[in-house]
Amino acid sequence: MRLKDMAELVDARVLCGEELLDEEMGTAFASDLMSDVLAQVKGHPLLITGLCNPQVVRTAEMVDIGCILFVRGKRPDAQTVALAEDGMLCLLATDRTMFEVCGILYAHGCQGTGGECRE
């Protein structure tokens, strides 16, 4: 699925990286803990998070994430957006919750990546 399609499905706005919206993205990882992102992300997923600081962009660069989707109405500051632009990352933002976003994307064929749920 293209990033553009994902953004439309979850009512997201593009904050930067509009030129990357045609990129295919088949997996996603959702977390507000960057330590989990570092330890568990595999592949090149969409990162879904409510954390809006520059460390999110730095973490995304370290594990080859091409797009970050901010949830719950969170918006990164100008410094964080500039950092993403410099790193050629796409930033999206939606007012939907993380749970809603994950459910919508999963229902449309997006698969998870990284750690598995354990009982």
pLDDT values of the chain reduced to their tens digit, one per residue, 119 residues: 899 999 999 999 999 999 999 999 889 999 999 999 999 888 889 999 999 999 999 999 999 998 999 999 999 999 999 999 999 999 999 999 999 999 999 999 888 875 443 33
What pLDDT is recorded for position 119?
A: 33
pLDDT of residue 115: 47
* CATH architecture label of 3-111: 3-Layer(aba) Sandwich (3.40)
pLDDT value of position 114: 55
> Which segments of 1-119 are extended strands (E)?
13-16, 27-30, 46-49, 67-70, 90-93, 111-112
Q: Hey, what amino acid is at 106?
A: Y
3-state helix, strand, coil in the chain (%, to 5): 40, 20, 40
- CA nearest 25: which of 1, 49, 9, 60? 1
Closest CA to 52 of 71, 25, 29, 27: 71
3-state SS, residue 79: helix
Spatial distance between the Cα atoms of 119 and 115, rounded to a whole number of angstroms: 13
